Amino acid sequence: MRVLFVSSEAHPLVKTGGLGDVAGALPQALVAEGVDVRLLIPAYRQVLDHLDTVEPLISLGDQLGMGEVRVLQGVSHALPLSIWLVDCPVLFDRPGGPYQDQQGVDWVDNGLRFALFSRVAALLGVTGRLTGWYPDLIHLNDWQSGLVPVWLRQWGASRPATLFTIHNLQYQGLFPKTLMSEIGLPDHFYDMHGLEYHQQLSMLKGGLYYADRLSTVSPTYALEVQSEEMGEGLNGLLSDRREQLVGILNGIDTRIWDPQHDPDIAAPFDKERLDERDRNRAPLLIEMGLPVTEPRVPLFGLVSRLVPQKGVDLLLAALPEVLESGAQLVVLGSGMPLLEQQLRQMQQQWPTQLAVWVGYSEPLAHRLVAGVDVLLVPSRFEPCGLTQMYALRYGALPLVRKTGGLADTVDEQSGFLFEEVSVESLRGAMNQVLDAFQDQAAWRERQQYAMGRALDWSRSAKQYKAVYQQLLPTDTGSMK
Ligand code: ADP
Ligand code: GLC
Protein backbone atom coordinates (compact mmCIF):
# COMPACT_ATOMS: atom_id res chain seq x y z
CA MET A 1 0.00 0.00 0.00
CA ARG A 2 1.58 3.26 -1.16
CA VAL A 3 0.58 6.50 0.56
CA LEU A 4 1.65 10.04 -0.22
CA PHE A 5 1.38 11.92 3.09
CA VAL A 6 0.98 15.63 2.37
CA SER A 7 1.64 18.21 5.07
CA SER A 8 2.71 21.85 5.26
CA GLU A 9 4.93 21.11 8.28
CA ALA A 10 6.76 18.16 9.82
CA HIS A 11 8.79 18.14 13.03
CA PRO A 12 11.77 18.44 13.40
CA LEU A 13 12.18 20.07 9.98
CA VAL A 14 9.49 22.72 10.37
CA LYS A 15 6.77 23.12 13.00
CA THR A 16 4.33 25.75 14.19
CA GLY A 17 2.04 23.47 16.20
CA GLY A 18 0.62 20.00 16.58
CA LEU A 19 0.29 19.32 12.84
CA GLY A 20 4.10 19.35 12.70
CA ASP A 21 4.30 16.76 15.46
CA VAL A 22 1.74 14.56 13.76
CA ALA A 23 3.34 14.72 10.31
CA GLY A 24 6.75 13.91 11.83
CA ALA A 25 5.51 10.89 13.78
CA LEU A 26 2.46 9.32 12.11
CA PRO A 27 4.20 8.49 8.79
CA GLN A 28 6.90 6.63 10.73
CA ALA A 29 4.25 4.68 12.62
CA LEU A 30 2.57 3.86 9.29
CA VAL A 31 5.85 2.57 7.92
CA ALA A 32 6.08 0.32 11.00
CA GLU A 33 2.64 -1.03 9.98
CA GLY A 34 3.99 -1.94 6.56
CA VAL A 35 2.66 1.08 4.62
CA ASP A 36 4.98 2.49 1.96
CA VAL A 37 4.93 6.21 2.75
CA ARG A 38 6.39 9.30 1.10
CA LEU A 39 6.14 12.50 3.10
CA LEU A 40 5.57 15.56 0.89
CA ILE A 41 6.32 19.03 2.29
CA PRO A 42 7.23 22.37 0.71
CA ALA A 43 10.95 23.04 0.25
CA TYR A 44 10.96 26.02 2.60
CA ARG A 45 14.40 27.53 3.11
CA GLN A 46 14.45 26.40 6.75
CA VAL A 47 13.74 22.82 5.69
CA LEU A 48 16.49 22.82 3.06
CA ASP A 49 18.87 24.13 5.74
CA HIS A 50 17.89 21.28 8.09
CA LEU A 51 18.35 18.37 5.69
CA ASP A 52 21.54 16.30 5.56
CA THR A 53 21.31 15.83 1.79
CA VAL A 54 18.96 17.01 -0.96
CA GLU A 55 18.81 15.69 -4.51
CA PRO A 56 16.55 16.44 -7.45
CA LEU A 57 14.00 13.70 -8.13
CA ILE A 58 11.98 15.08 -11.05
CA SER A 59 11.24 18.33 -12.82
CA LEU A 60 7.63 19.29 -13.49
CA GLY A 61 8.48 22.26 -15.70
CA ASP A 62 6.72 25.55 -15.20
CA GLN A 63 3.69 25.35 -12.93
CA LEU A 64 1.18 28.17 -12.47
CA GLY A 65 3.64 30.59 -14.05
CA MET A 66 5.97 30.34 -11.06
CA GLY A 67 8.94 29.03 -13.02
CA GLU A 68 10.41 25.55 -12.95
CA VAL A 69 9.01 23.40 -10.18
CA ARG A 70 10.90 20.34 -9.06
CA VAL A 71 10.39 17.55 -6.60
CA LEU A 72 13.46 16.98 -4.47
CA GLN A 73 14.36 14.03 -2.33
CA GLY A 74 15.73 14.86 1.10
CA VAL A 75 17.46 12.87 3.78
CA SER A 76 17.45 13.79 7.46
CA HIS A 77 18.94 11.73 10.26
CA ALA A 78 16.37 13.37 12.53
CA LEU A 79 13.40 12.26 10.43
CA PRO A 80 13.99 8.75 9.09
CA LEU A 81 11.46 8.77 6.25
CA SER A 82 11.35 9.14 2.48
CA ILE A 83 11.02 12.90 2.30
CA TRP A 84 9.89 14.57 -0.91
CA LEU A 85 9.97 18.33 -1.22
CA VAL A 86 8.07 20.67 -3.52
CA ASP A 87 10.73 23.02 -4.79
CA CYS A 88 9.50 26.33 -6.15
CA PRO A 89 12.06 28.90 -5.04
CA VAL A 90 9.90 31.95 -5.83
CA LEU A 91 7.28 30.70 -3.38
CA PHE A 92 9.16 28.77 -0.72
CA ASP A 93 12.83 29.73 -0.60
CA ARG A 94 12.61 32.77 1.66
CA PRO A 95 13.38 33.59 5.31
CA GLY A 96 10.54 33.46 7.86
CA GLY A 97 7.96 30.85 8.79
CA PRO A 98 5.86 28.50 6.68
CA TYR A 99 2.82 30.79 6.67
CA GLN A 100 4.11 34.13 7.93
CA ASP A 101 7.05 36.47 7.52
CA GLN A 102 9.49 37.31 10.29
CA GLN A 103 7.10 39.97 11.63
CA GLY A 104 4.30 37.43 12.00
CA VAL A 105 2.31 38.73 9.01
CA ASP A 106 0.73 36.15 6.67
CA TRP A 107 2.57 35.86 3.36
CA VAL A 108 0.45 37.75 0.82
CA ASP A 109 0.87 34.94 -1.70
CA ASN A 110 -0.24 32.07 0.58
CA GLY A 111 -3.07 31.31 -1.84
CA LEU A 112 -0.66 30.74 -4.70
CA ARG A 113 1.87 28.95 -2.49
CA PHE A 114 -0.51 26.28 -1.27
CA ALA A 115 -2.42 26.03 -4.53
CA LEU A 116 0.88 25.11 -6.14
CA PHE A 117 1.81 22.77 -3.30
CA SER A 118 -1.53 20.95 -3.70
CA ARG A 119 -1.19 20.84 -7.46
CA VAL A 120 2.18 19.14 -7.22
CA ALA A 121 0.80 16.60 -4.72
CA ALA A 122 -2.02 15.83 -7.15
CA LEU A 123 0.44 15.58 -10.06
CA LEU A 124 2.49 13.05 -8.11
CA GLY A 125 -0.72 11.08 -7.74
CA VAL A 126 -1.22 10.75 -11.48
CA THR A 127 2.28 10.87 -12.95
CA GLY A 128 3.89 7.96 -11.16
CA ARG A 129 5.73 7.11 -14.36
CA LEU A 130 7.99 10.11 -13.71
CA THR A 131 9.00 8.95 -10.24
CA GLY A 132 8.40 5.24 -10.65
CA TRP A 133 6.10 5.35 -7.63
CA TYR A 134 2.29 5.52 -7.91
CA PRO A 135 0.49 6.28 -4.67
CA ASP A 136 -2.68 4.30 -4.01
CA LEU A 137 -3.86 7.04 -1.72
CA ILE A 138 -3.03 10.63 -0.85
CA HIS A 139 -3.42 11.54 2.80
CA LEU A 140 -4.13 15.28 3.08
CA ASN A 141 -3.85 17.44 6.15
CA ASP A 142 -5.62 20.76 6.73
CA TRP A 143 -6.39 23.56 4.27
CA GLN A 144 -2.88 23.77 2.84
CA SER A 145 -3.53 20.54 0.94
CA GLY A 146 -7.27 21.06 0.45
CA LEU A 147 -7.08 21.63 -3.31
CA VAL A 148 -5.51 18.22 -4.05
CA PRO A 149 -8.83 16.41 -4.65
CA VAL A 150 -10.01 19.43 -6.67
CA TRP A 151 -7.13 19.13 -9.13
CA LEU A 152 -7.68 15.36 -9.33
CA ARG A 153 -11.32 15.96 -10.13
CA GLN A 154 -10.51 18.56 -12.72
CA TRP A 155 -8.24 16.11 -14.50
CA GLY A 156 -10.88 13.38 -14.25
CA ALA A 157 -8.54 11.13 -12.32
CA SER A 158 -10.33 8.41 -10.35
CA ARG A 159 -7.15 7.46 -8.55
CA PRO A 160 -5.47 7.87 -6.17
CA ALA A 161 -8.06 7.85 -3.40
CA THR A 162 -7.92 10.76 -0.95
CA LEU A 163 -8.30 11.03 2.82
CA PHE A 164 -8.52 14.54 4.24
CA THR A 165 -7.69 14.97 7.93
CA ILE A 166 -9.06 18.00 9.77
CA HIS A 167 -6.61 19.15 12.43
CA ASN A 168 -8.35 22.45 13.01
CA LEU A 169 -11.57 23.63 11.36
CA GLN A 170 -10.91 27.24 12.32
CA TYR A 171 -8.07 27.67 9.82
CA GLN A 172 -9.81 27.62 6.46
CA GLY A 173 -7.41 29.00 3.87
CA LEU A 174 -9.79 31.69 2.59
CA PHE A 175 -8.79 33.67 -0.50
CA PRO A 176 -10.47 36.04 -2.98
CA LYS A 177 -12.35 34.50 -5.86
CA THR A 178 -9.78 35.98 -8.25
CA LEU A 179 -7.36 33.26 -7.17
CA MET A 180 -9.47 30.78 -9.15
CA SER A 181 -8.38 32.21 -12.50
CA GLU A 182 -4.81 32.84 -11.30
CA ILE A 183 -4.40 29.15 -10.60
CA GLY A 184 -6.45 28.01 -13.58
CA LEU A 185 -9.36 26.38 -11.80
CA PRO A 186 -12.62 26.61 -13.77
CA ASP A 187 -15.41 28.73 -12.27
CA HIS A 188 -17.80 25.82 -11.83
CA PHE A 189 -15.83 24.77 -8.77
CA TYR A 190 -16.68 28.13 -7.22
CA ASP A 191 -20.06 27.14 -5.91
CA MET A 192 -21.80 26.66 -2.59
CA HIS A 193 -21.54 22.95 -3.44
CA GLY A 194 -17.82 23.25 -3.95
CA LEU A 195 -15.13 25.73 -2.98
CA GLU A 196 -17.18 28.83 -2.27
CA TYR A 197 -17.56 29.89 1.36
CA HIS A 198 -19.24 33.25 2.04
CA GLN A 199 -17.99 34.83 -1.19
CA GLN A 200 -14.47 33.51 -0.80
CA LEU A 201 -12.54 30.52 -2.03
CA SER A 202 -12.04 28.09 0.85
CA MET A 203 -9.18 25.65 0.41
CA LEU A 204 -10.38 23.79 3.48
CA LYS A 205 -13.74 23.23 1.82
CA GLY A 206 -11.95 21.75 -1.18
CA GLY A 207 -10.76 18.96 1.09
CA LEU A 208 -14.03 18.62 2.97
CA TYR A 209 -16.15 18.52 -0.16
CA TYR A 210 -14.06 16.57 -2.64
CA ALA A 211 -11.92 14.13 -0.65
CA ASP A 212 -13.16 10.52 -0.66
CA ARG A 213 -12.95 10.20 3.10
CA LEU A 214 -12.62 12.62 6.01
CA SER A 215 -11.15 12.30 9.45
CA THR A 216 -10.63 14.44 12.53
CA VAL A 217 -7.93 14.00 15.14
CA SER A 218 -10.21 12.77 17.93
CA PRO A 219 -13.59 11.01 18.10
CA THR A 220 -15.18 13.78 20.16
CA TYR A 221 -14.09 16.48 17.71
CA ALA A 222 -15.61 14.39 14.89
CA LEU A 223 -18.97 14.89 16.60
CA GLU A 224 -18.34 18.51 17.59
CA VAL A 225 -17.59 19.65 14.02
CA GLN A 226 -21.10 18.53 13.06
CA SER A 227 -22.66 20.92 15.56
CA GLU A 228 -23.66 24.48 14.87
CA GLU A 229 -21.65 25.88 17.80
CA MET A 230 -18.40 24.27 16.77
CA GLY A 231 -18.80 23.60 13.07
CA GLU A 232 -17.48 26.98 11.86
CA GLY A 233 -20.29 27.19 9.31
CA LEU A 234 -19.25 23.86 7.82
CA ASN A 235 -21.31 21.66 10.14
CA GLY A 236 -23.99 21.10 7.47
CA LEU A 237 -21.49 19.73 4.99
CA LEU A 238 -19.79 17.67 7.69
CA SER A 239 -22.98 16.14 8.99
CA ASP A 240 -24.07 15.35 5.42
CA ARG A 241 -20.80 13.45 5.11
CA ARG A 242 -20.84 11.85 8.55
CA GLU A 243 -20.81 8.35 7.06
CA GLN A 244 -17.46 9.19 5.54
CA LEU A 245 -16.07 10.97 8.59
CA VAL A 246 -14.11 9.21 11.30
CA GLY A 247 -12.32 10.44 14.44
CA ILE A 248 -8.90 8.92 15.03
CA LEU A 249 -7.09 10.10 18.14
CA ASN A 250 -3.57 11.42 17.70
CA GLY A 251 -0.71 9.65 19.41
CA ILE A 252 2.58 11.10 20.57
CA ASP A 253 6.15 10.34 19.59
CA THR A 254 7.28 8.47 22.68
CA ARG A 255 10.90 8.59 21.54
CA ILE A 256 10.99 12.38 21.44
CA TRP A 257 8.85 12.63 24.59
CA ASP A 258 10.55 10.07 26.81
CA PRO A 259 11.24 11.15 30.41
CA GLN A 260 13.79 8.34 30.82
CA HIS A 261 15.96 9.51 27.94
CA ASP A 262 15.22 13.18 27.47
CA PRO A 263 18.45 15.08 26.75
CA ASP A 264 16.81 18.42 27.53
CA ILE A 265 15.79 17.80 31.14
CA ALA A 266 17.90 18.02 34.32
CA ALA A 267 17.05 14.59 35.76
CA PRO A 268 15.66 11.62 33.81
CA PHE A 269 12.86 9.70 35.54
CA ASP A 270 10.08 7.18 35.15
CA LYS A 271 6.99 6.28 37.11
CA GLU A 272 8.94 4.20 39.59
CA ARG A 273 11.35 7.10 40.22
CA LEU A 274 9.18 10.08 40.95
CA ASP A 275 11.73 11.47 43.43
CA GLU A 276 14.01 11.93 40.45
CA ARG A 277 11.23 13.80 38.72
CA ASP A 278 11.18 16.30 41.58
CA ARG A 279 14.77 17.20 40.75
CA ASN A 280 13.55 18.91 37.58
CA ARG A 281 11.54 21.45 39.50
CA ALA A 282 14.18 23.73 41.02
CA PRO A 283 16.22 24.07 37.79
CA LEU A 284 13.03 25.05 35.97
CA LEU A 285 12.10 27.67 38.57
CA ILE A 286 15.62 29.08 38.48
CA GLU A 287 15.68 29.13 34.67
CA MET A 288 12.37 31.00 34.69
CA GLY A 289 13.60 33.44 37.35
CA LEU A 290 11.27 32.34 40.15
CA PRO A 291 12.26 31.58 43.75
CA VAL A 292 12.37 27.94 44.84
CA THR A 293 9.84 27.89 47.67
CA GLU A 294 9.84 25.73 50.80
CA PRO A 295 7.48 24.25 51.71
CA ARG A 296 6.61 23.35 48.21
CA VAL A 297 3.65 25.09 46.54
CA PRO A 298 1.79 23.73 43.51
CA LEU A 299 3.51 24.70 40.27
CA PHE A 300 1.26 25.13 37.23
CA GLY A 301 2.53 25.29 33.65
CA LEU A 302 1.28 26.40 30.24
CA VAL A 303 2.89 25.62 26.86
CA SER A 304 0.75 27.04 24.13
CA ARG A 305 0.17 29.09 21.08
CA LEU A 306 -1.33 32.27 22.53
CA VAL A 307 -4.59 32.48 20.58
CA PRO A 308 -8.27 32.64 21.60
CA GLN A 309 -8.69 28.90 20.95
CA LYS A 310 -6.45 28.09 23.89
CA GLY A 311 -8.48 29.92 26.57
CA VAL A 312 -5.55 32.07 27.73
CA ASP A 313 -7.94 34.94 28.45
CA LEU A 314 -9.89 32.69 30.85
CA LEU A 315 -6.65 31.83 32.58
CA LEU A 316 -5.64 35.50 32.91
CA ALA A 317 -8.95 36.21 34.61
CA ALA A 318 -8.86 33.16 36.90
CA LEU A 319 -5.25 33.62 37.90
CA PRO A 320 -5.14 36.38 40.57
CA GLU A 321 -7.25 34.41 43.04
CA VAL A 322 -5.20 31.27 42.49
CA LEU A 323 -1.90 33.12 42.87
CA GLU A 324 -3.15 34.62 46.12
CA SER A 325 -3.10 31.10 47.52
CA GLY A 326 0.66 31.06 46.94
CA ALA A 327 0.76 28.80 43.85
CA GLN A 328 3.21 29.46 41.02
CA LEU A 329 2.81 29.37 37.23
CA VAL A 330 5.35 29.18 34.40
CA VAL A 331 4.25 30.06 30.88
CA LEU A 332 5.93 29.32 27.55
CA GLY A 333 4.04 30.68 24.58
CA SER A 334 3.82 33.02 21.67
CA GLY A 335 1.10 34.32 19.42
CA MET A 336 -1.26 37.26 19.70
CA PRO A 337 0.61 40.39 20.85
CA LEU A 338 -2.27 41.40 23.14
CA LEU A 339 -2.17 38.12 25.07
CA GLU A 340 1.63 38.25 25.25
CA GLN A 341 1.40 41.75 26.66
CA GLN A 342 -1.31 40.87 29.20
CA LEU A 343 0.72 37.93 30.46
CA ARG A 344 3.81 40.12 30.82
CA GLN A 345 1.81 42.73 32.73
CA MET A 346 0.50 40.14 35.12
CA GLN A 347 4.02 38.83 35.59
CA GLN A 348 5.03 42.29 36.81
CA GLN A 349 2.28 42.16 39.42
CA TRP A 350 3.28 38.68 40.62
CA PRO A 351 7.05 38.57 40.06
CA THR A 352 7.78 35.72 42.48
CA GLN A 353 4.88 33.54 41.37
CA LEU A 354 4.39 34.03 37.65
CA ALA A 355 7.08 33.70 34.99
CA VAL A 356 6.37 34.20 31.30
CA TRP A 357 8.75 33.25 28.49
CA VAL A 358 7.41 34.68 25.26
CA GLY A 359 8.84 32.79 22.31
CA TYR A 360 9.19 29.31 20.94
CA SER A 361 11.56 26.75 22.46
CA GLU A 362 11.32 22.97 22.12
CA PRO A 363 13.91 22.25 24.87
CA LEU A 364 12.18 24.59 27.33
CA ALA A 365 8.84 22.92 26.53
CA HIS A 366 10.39 19.59 27.63
CA ARG A 367 11.85 21.08 30.81
CA LEU A 368 8.56 22.74 31.64
CA VAL A 369 6.52 19.58 31.25
CA ALA A 370 9.09 17.67 33.33
CA GLY A 371 9.12 20.25 36.13
CA VAL A 372 5.54 21.39 36.73
CA ASP A 373 2.92 19.64 38.85
CA VAL A 374 0.00 20.51 36.60
CA LEU A 375 -0.17 21.47 32.92
CA LEU A 376 -3.04 23.79 32.01
CA VAL A 377 -4.99 23.31 28.77
CA PRO A 378 -8.12 25.46 29.23
CA SER A 379 -9.03 25.43 25.52
CA ARG A 380 -12.35 26.70 24.16
CA PHE A 381 -12.06 23.91 21.60
CA GLU A 382 -9.29 21.42 20.97
CA PRO A 383 -9.37 19.06 18.00
CA CYS A 384 -6.94 16.76 19.78
CA GLY A 385 -4.22 18.55 21.71
CA LEU A 386 -0.82 17.02 22.25
CA THR A 387 0.56 18.89 25.25
CA GLN A 388 -1.84 17.18 27.66
CA MET A 389 -0.50 13.84 26.42
CA TYR A 390 3.11 14.96 26.87
CA ALA A 391 2.08 16.01 30.38
CA LEU A 392 0.52 12.61 31.15
CA ARG A 393 3.66 10.86 30.05
CA TYR A 394 5.83 13.17 32.16
CA GLY A 395 3.71 12.93 35.32
CA ALA A 396 2.40 16.50 35.13
CA LEU A 397 -1.32 16.09 35.77
CA PRO A 398 -3.22 17.92 33.02
CA LEU A 399 -6.02 20.32 33.87
CA VAL A 400 -8.16 20.55 30.75
CA ARG A 401 -11.49 21.72 29.50
CA LYS A 402 -13.66 18.76 28.63
CA THR A 403 -13.74 19.24 24.89
CA GLY A 404 -12.46 17.50 21.74
CA GLY A 405 -9.37 15.39 22.19
CA LEU A 406 -8.87 16.69 25.72
CA ALA A 407 -12.06 14.88 26.75
CA ASP A 408 -10.83 11.75 24.96
CA THR A 409 -7.40 11.64 26.62
CA VAL A 410 -7.80 12.93 30.19
CA ASP A 411 -10.00 11.37 32.86
CA GLU A 412 -10.69 12.24 36.50
CA GLN A 413 -7.93 9.97 37.70
CA SER A 414 -5.18 11.17 35.40
CA GLY A 415 -6.04 14.86 35.58
CA PHE A 416 -8.60 17.57 36.25
CA LEU A 417 -11.49 18.52 33.96
CA PHE A 418 -13.91 21.43 33.77
CA GLU A 419 -16.86 21.69 31.41
CA GLU A 420 -18.09 25.23 31.01
CA VAL A 421 -16.16 27.89 29.11
CA SER A 422 -16.06 30.27 32.06
CA VAL A 423 -13.59 31.85 34.43
CA GLU A 424 -15.49 30.37 37.39
CA SER A 425 -15.25 26.81 36.08
CA LEU A 426 -11.56 27.13 35.38
CA ARG A 427 -10.95 28.69 38.76
CA GLY A 428 -12.96 25.91 40.40
CA ALA A 429 -10.76 23.29 38.75
CA MET A 430 -7.58 25.12 39.78
CA ASN A 431 -8.85 25.22 43.35
CA GLN A 432 -9.44 21.48 43.14
CA VAL A 433 -5.78 21.13 42.26
CA LEU A 434 -4.78 23.12 45.34
CA ASP A 435 -6.83 20.75 47.53
CA ALA A 436 -5.64 17.57 45.85
CA PHE A 437 -2.02 18.68 46.12
CA GLN A 438 -2.27 18.45 49.93
CA ASP A 439 -2.42 14.67 49.76
CA GLN A 440 0.94 13.87 48.22
CA ALA A 441 0.56 10.09 48.47
CA ALA A 442 -2.64 10.18 46.42
CA TRP A 443 -1.01 12.65 44.03
CA ARG A 444 1.83 10.21 43.36
CA GLU A 445 -0.62 7.45 42.62
CA ARG A 446 -2.35 9.63 40.10
CA GLN A 447 0.99 10.49 38.50
CA GLN A 448 1.85 6.82 38.19
CA TYR A 449 -1.50 6.06 36.63
CA ALA A 450 -1.09 8.95 34.17
CA MET A 451 2.43 7.87 33.25
CA GLY A 452 1.27 4.33 32.59
CA ARG A 453 -1.18 5.33 29.87
CA ALA A 454 -0.48 4.03 26.35
CA LEU A 455 -0.17 7.10 24.16
CA ASP A 456 2.10 6.09 21.31
CA TRP A 457 1.06 6.10 17.68
CA SER A 458 0.73 2.36 17.04
CA ARG A 459 -3.00 2.10 17.76
CA SER A 460 -3.91 5.13 15.66
CA ALA A 461 -1.61 4.08 12.82
CA LYS A 462 -3.52 0.79 12.65
CA GLN A 463 -6.79 2.72 12.48
CA TYR A 464 -5.51 4.91 9.64
CA LYS A 465 -4.30 1.84 7.82
CA ALA A 466 -7.75 0.30 8.16
CA VAL A 467 -9.30 3.44 6.66
CA TYR A 468 -6.79 3.36 3.78
CA GLN A 469 -7.73 -0.27 3.19
CA GLN A 470 -11.42 0.56 3.04
CA LEU A 471 -10.68 3.11 0.34
CA LEU A 472 -8.89 0.55 -1.81
CA PRO A 473 -9.42 -0.84 -4.29
CA THR A 474 -13.18 -0.76 -4.87
CA ASP A 475 -14.70 1.93 -2.64
CA THR A 476 -14.07 5.50 -3.74
CA GLY A 477 -16.59 6.68 -1.16
CA SER A 478 -17.07 10.19 -2.54
CA MET A 479 -20.37 11.98 -1.99
CA LYS A 480 -20.55 13.23 -5.55
P1 ADP B 1 -1.90 23.26 18.43
O2 ADP B 1 -1.48 22.45 17.29
O3 ADP B 1 -3.31 23.73 18.36
O4 ADP B 1 -0.97 24.38 18.72
P5 ADP B 1 -1.20 20.92 20.05
O6 ADP B 1 -1.32 20.70 21.51
O7 ADP B 1 -1.70 19.87 19.17
O8 ADP B 1 -1.88 22.33 19.75
O9 ADP B 1 0.33 21.08 19.65
C10 ADP B 1 1.13 22.13 20.06
C11 ADP B 1 2.57 21.74 19.87
O12 ADP B 1 3.35 22.92 19.82
C13 ADP B 1 3.13 20.92 21.03
O14 ADP B 1 4.19 20.11 20.54
C15 ADP B 1 3.67 22.00 21.95
O16 ADP B 1 4.66 21.51 22.81
C17 ADP B 1 4.23 22.97 20.94
N18 ADP B 1 4.31 24.36 21.39
C19 ADP B 1 3.32 25.28 21.45
N20 ADP B 1 3.80 26.47 21.83
C21 ADP B 1 5.13 26.30 22.02
C22 ADP B 1 6.20 27.16 22.41
N23 ADP B 1 5.98 28.44 22.67
N24 ADP B 1 7.44 26.65 22.48
C25 ADP B 1 7.64 25.34 22.20
N26 ADP B 1 6.70 24.48 21.84
C27 ADP B 1 5.46 24.95 21.74
C1 GLC C 1 -4.32 21.33 15.48
C2 GLC C 1 -5.20 21.34 16.72
C3 GLC C 1 -4.69 20.46 17.84
C4 GLC C 1 -4.19 19.13 17.32
C5 GLC C 1 -3.16 19.37 16.22
C6 GLC C 1 -2.60 18.08 15.65
O7 GLC C 1 -3.32 22.26 15.54
O8 GLC C 1 -5.41 22.66 17.20
O9 GLC C 1 -5.72 20.24 18.78
O10 GLC C 1 -3.61 18.38 18.36
O11 GLC C 1 -3.75 20.06 15.17
O12 GLC C 1 -3.59 17.24 15.13
Q: Which amino acid is at 82?
A: S
The CA 377 to ligand 1 mean position distance, Å, reads 11
Is the minimum distance from the CB of 168 to ligand 2 under 6 angstroms?
yes
CA of 349 to the centre of ligand 2 (A): 32
Cut 0.95: pTM above it = yes
Assess whether the C-beta atom of 153 lies below 6 angstroms from ligand 2: no
CB proximity list for 267: less than 8 A, separation 6 or greater: 276, 277, 279, 280
Q: What is the pLDDT of residue 248?
A: 98
Evaluated on CA atoms 241, 22, 55, 88, the torsion sign reads positive
291 alpha carbon – ligand 2 mean position (Å): 34
Query: What digits encode the pLDDT tens for the residues 217-239?
Result: 999 999 999 999 999 999 999 99
Whole-number pLDDT of residue 480: 35
Q: CA of 66: how far to CAs of 107, 126, 159, 284, in Å?
A: 16, 21, 26, 48
Residues 308-326 pLDDT 10s: 999 999 999 999 999 999 9
Is residue 302 scored above 50 in pLDDT? yes
Report whether pLDDT(402) > 50.
yes
- In three-state form (DSSP H/G/I as H, E/B as E, the rest C), the secondary structure along the chain is CEEEEECCCECCCECCCHHHHHHHHHHHHHHHCCCEEEEEEECCHHHHHHCCEEEEEEEEEECCCCCEEEEEEEECCCCCCEEEEEECHHHHCCCCCCCECCCCCECCCHHHHHHHHHHHHHHHHHCHHHHCCCCCEEEEECHHHCCHHHHHHHCCCCCCEEEEEECCCCCCCEECCCHHHHCCCCHHHCCCCCCEECCEEEHHHHHHHHCCEEEECCHHHHHHCCCCCCCCCCHHHHHHCHHHEEECCCCCCCCCCCCCCCCCCCCCCCCCCHHHHHCCHHHHHHHCCCCCCCCCCCEEEEEEEECHHHCHHHHHHHHHHHHHCCCEEEEEEEECHHHHHHHHHHHHHCCCCEEEEECCCHHHHHHHHHHCCEEEECCCCCCCCCHHHHHHHCCCEEEEECCHHHHHHCCCCCCEEECCCCHHHHHHHHHHHHHHCCCHHHHHHHHHHHHCCCCCCHHHHHHHHHHHHHHCCCCCCCCC
Distances, alpha carbon 41 to alpha carbons 210, 280, 354, 378, in Å: 21, 36, 38, 31
Cβ partners under 8 Å of residue 349, min gap 6: none
Which residue is closest in CA terms to ligand 2's atom 7? 18
Tell me the mean pLDDT in the region 85-100.
Answer: 97
Across the chain, what does the average pLDDT equal? Answer: 96
pLDDT digits 0-9 by tens, 348-373: 999 999 999 999 999 999 999 999 99
- Structure confidence at residue 406 as a pLDDT band (50, 70, 90): very high
* Predicted pLDDT at 295: 87
Tell me, in angstroms, the distance from the centre of ligand 1 to residue 385's CA: 8
Does pLDDT of 261 surpass 60?
Answer: yes
pLDDT at 172: 98
- What residue ranges line ligand 1, CB within 6 angstroms? 17-18, 21, 303-305, 332-334, 360-362, 365, 384-387
Question: What's the mean pLDDT in 386-392?
Answer: 98
Handedness of CA 22, 24, 30, 33 (dihedral sign): negative
CA of 383 to the centre of ligand 2 (A): 6
Q: What pLDDT is attached to residue 475?
A: 44
Q: What would the mean pLDDT of 60-87 be, rounded to a whole number?
A: 98
Q: Residue 179 carries which side chain, given as an amino acid letter?
A: L
Task: Say how many C-beta atoms besides its own lie within 10 A of residue 338's C-beta.
Answer: 11
Confidence of residue 479 (pLDDT cuts 50, 70, 90): very low
Mean pLDDT, residues 180-186 taken together: 97
Q: What percent of the chain has pLDDT over 90?
A: 96
Average pLDDT over residues 187-204: 97
d(CA 213, CA 300): 40
Q: How sure is the predictor about 129, in pLDDT bands with cuts at 50, 70 and 90?
A: confident
Q: Which pLDDT does position 474 carry in this prediction?
A: 59
Q: What angle do CA 396, 217, 45 make, to 5 degrees?
A: 90
Instruction: Identify the nearest ligand to the CA of 142 by its number.
Output: 2
User: Per-residue pLDDT tens for 411-470?
Assistant: 999 999 999 999 999 999 999 999 999 999 999 999 999 999 999 999 999 999 999 999
Give the chain's domains with CATH numbers: 2-251+459-471 (3.40.50.2000), 274-453 (3.40.50.2000)
pLDDT above 90 (res 215): yes
Q: Is the CB of 25 under 6 A from ligand 2?
A: no
Under 8 Å between Cβ of 119 and 151: yes
Q: Is the pLDDT of residue 45 over 70?
A: yes
pLDDT score of 68: 98
What per-residue confidence (pLDDT) applies to 157? 84
Ligand at minimal distance from the CA of 168 is 2
Q: Ligand 1 centre and the CA of 387: distance in Å? A: 7
Is 477 a residue whose pLDDT tops 50? Answer: no
Q: Note whether 351 and 456 are within 8 A (CB).
A: no
Which among 7, 249, 250 is the best mutation to test ligand 2's pocket, defined by most ligand atoms within 8 Å of the CB? Answer: 250
Cα(17) to centroid(ligand 1), Å: 5
